[in-house]
């Protein structure tokens, strides 16, 4: 939505196409974006978690999804034939497949906007399917990071360009007032709030954060943890396990679960420290960039897609070995107890966001790729 709003209206007309009504459609309409609702069959998760650590394939979901992709590609083809766009951009793995197929059949240039790492579990079948489509369907590929590009097969890598994520640094900025958020959730002004904004799922690692926070809470009675987000795609059992973990550790009055929220700038303003604990495959996550722009000191697990946006300066000193709750707790305890250090790291975070994470730079790069694509298609 940020990209569509940022494109030069004198040159581009953006139409957002989504499968159903919801929060996002309301946001698009509020922003004045043309919107089309194009229903599709419900897609099923192709794997499921056993506990927080083991994942198993779901073969029935594969069969269902392949059939749904085929049907949706045909419907999308008819839809695109009536709309006659100059270019199509797809976002999300399933959308790459059916949207890309429909555009290719009609000879419409198609850009895959790839944000996700494709899992190499189960013998690499996910990566194989992604690669097969990547070499045959898109006209161009936009990847949000170098690691994401590297999963594109060599035969298709010449199609790929890196355009990192960006956020509105005017919306996400230091100096916002988080008092109303604290009041809403009964968090006193003198508390040191450690926050996390993310979907609740095992690979985002919130169970590690709760484990680390329990160690911090023993020594600092002012520390409070705020988890912003909810489960998606069948992850209710994990969300339930987080609540049970909090109760088991005796932290029920020290941990706030906000659920899904849209007022993220205000939520970040209510935090003193931002902890990002993804344990795998994340790349230039938006909530991390938003925290940087908001001037929050950041502690994160050291995965490649998080290391890149933090850069090589002082922020990188608070990258923690993945899954190391004790090390994470030590770093959180230091920041919770040293307000001057929080200010120093917060200033460095804001500077990094202004240098590397603006939506303006992102839109400008995407406009350049769109222009090349449209010119080449005649």
Per-residue pLDDT tens digits for 88-113: 999 988 899 999 999 999 999 999 99
**Do 198 and 152 reside in the same domain of the chain?**
no
**Do 184 and 115 reside in the same domain of the chain?**
no
**Do 156 and 199 reside in the same domain of the chain?**
no
- Answer whether residue 326 is part of any domain: yes
Sign, CA dihedral 89-94-100-106, equals negative
**Do 119 and 187 reside in the same domain of the chain?**
no
Contact by Cβ (8 Å): 247, 361? no
**Do 209 and 329 reside in the same domain of the chain?**
yes
Q: What's the rounded Cα separation, in Å, for the pair 354 and 370?
A: 24
Name the band, by pLDDT with cuts 50, 70 and 90, for residue 39.
confident
**Distance separating the N- and C-terminal Cα atoms of the chain:** 27
Name the band, by pLDDT with cuts 50, 70 and 90, for residue 53.
low
- Answer whether residue 256 is part of any domain: yes
State mean pLDDT over 286-294: 97
- Answer whether residue 338 is part of any domain: yes
Q: What's the rounded Cα separation, in Å, for the pair 287 and 307?
A: 14
Alpha-carbon distances, residue 346 vs 57, 228, 253 (angstroms): 42, 20, 27
Residue 63 has pLDDT above 90, yes or no: no
> Token match 């205000």: residue?
266
- Answer whether residue 90 is part of any domain: yes
The range of the structural domain enclosing residue 325 comes to: 179-356
Name the band, by pLDDT with cuts 50, 70 and 90, for residue 51.
low
Top pLDDT among 169 and 374 is at 169
- Answer whether residue 4 is part of any domain: no
Q: Give the contacts of 321 (CB within 8 A, at least 6 positions apart).
A: 301, 302, 327
**Do 212 and 161 reside in the same domain of the chain?**
no
Q: Which of 228-237, 266-275, 300-309 has the highest mean pLDDT?
A: 266-275
**Do 193 and 305 reside in the same domain of the chain?**
yes
**Do 66 and 193 reside in the same domain of the chain?**
no
Name the band, by pLDDT with cuts 50, 70 and 90, for residue 305.
confident
**Do 214 and 253 reside in the same domain of the chain?**
yes
Q: What's the rounded Cα separation, in Å, for the pair 320 and 330?
A: 10
Closest CA to 233 of 18, 61, 15: 61
Position 371 scores a pLDDT of 92
- Answer whether residue 25 is part of any domain: no
**Do 129 and 192 reside in the same domain of the chain?**
no
CATH number at residue 349: 3.40.50.2000
Residue 268 has pLDDT above 90, yes or no: yes
Residue 9 has pLDDT above 70, yes or no: yes
Torsion angle of C-alpha atoms 79, 85, 87, 91, degrees rounded to 10: -40
Name the band, by pLDDT with cuts 50, 70 and 90, for residue 136.
very high
Contact by Cβ (8 Å): 94, 65? yes
- Answer whether residue 22 is part of any domain: no
Structure tokens at 20: 């159903």
Count structural domains, the chain.
2
- Answer whether residue 23 is part of any domain: no
Position 133 scores a pLDDT of 93
High-pLDDT (> 90) share of the chain, %: 74
**Do 345 and 265 reside in the same domain of the chain?**
yes
Mean pLDDT (the chain, rounded): 91
**Do 303 and 343 reside in the same domain of the chain?**
yes
Which pTM does this prediction carry? 0.87
Q: Which residues pair with 226 in a beta bridge?
A: 195, 256
């Amino acid at each position: 939505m940020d990209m569509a709003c940022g494109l030069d209206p004198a040159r581009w007309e953006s139409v957002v196409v989504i499968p159903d009504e919801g929060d996002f459609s309301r946001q698009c309409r509020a922003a004045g974006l043309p919107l089309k609702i194009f229903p599709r069959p419900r897609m099923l998760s192709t794997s499921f978690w056993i506990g927080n650590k083991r994942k198993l394939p779901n073969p029935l979901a594969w069969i269902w999804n392949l059939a749904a992709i085929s049907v949706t590609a045909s419907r999308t083809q008819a839809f695109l034939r009536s709309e006659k766009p100059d270019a199509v951009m797809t976002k999300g793995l399933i959308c790459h497949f059916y949207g890309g197929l429909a555009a290719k059949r009609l000879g419409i240039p198609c850009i895959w906007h790839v944000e996700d790492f494709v899992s190499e579990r189960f013998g690499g079948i996910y990566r194989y399917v992604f690669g097969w489509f990547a070499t045959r369907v898109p006209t161009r590929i936009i990847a949000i990071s170098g690691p994401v590009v590297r999963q594109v097969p060599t035969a298709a890598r010449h199609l790929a360009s890196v355009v990192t994520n960006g956020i509105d640094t005017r919306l996400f900025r230091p100096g916002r007032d988080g008092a109303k958020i604290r009041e809403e959730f009964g968090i006193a002004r003198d508390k040191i709030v450690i926050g996390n904004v993310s979907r609740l799922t095992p690979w985002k690692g919130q169970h590690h954060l709760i484990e680390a926070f329990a160690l911090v809470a023993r020594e600092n009675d002012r520390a409070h943890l705020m988890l912003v987000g909810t489960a998606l795609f069948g992850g209710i059992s994990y969300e339930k396990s987080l609540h049970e973990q909090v109760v088991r550790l005796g932290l029920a009055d020290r941990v706030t679960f906000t659920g899904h929220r849209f007022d993220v700038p205000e939520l970040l303003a209510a935090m003193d420290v931002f902890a990002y604990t993804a344990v795998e495959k994340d790349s230039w996550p938006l909530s991390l960039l938003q925290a940087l722009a908001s001037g929050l000191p950041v502690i994160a697990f050291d995965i490649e897609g998080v290391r890149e946006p933090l850069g090589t300066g002082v922020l990188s000193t608070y990258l923690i070995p993945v899954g190391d709750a004790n090390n994470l707790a030590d770093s959180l305890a230091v920041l919770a107890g040293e307000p001057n250090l929080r200010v120093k790291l917060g200033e460095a975070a804001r500077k990094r966001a202004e240098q590397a994470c603006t939506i303006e730079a992102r839109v400008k790069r995407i406009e350049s790729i769109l222009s090349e694509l449209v010119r080449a298609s005649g």
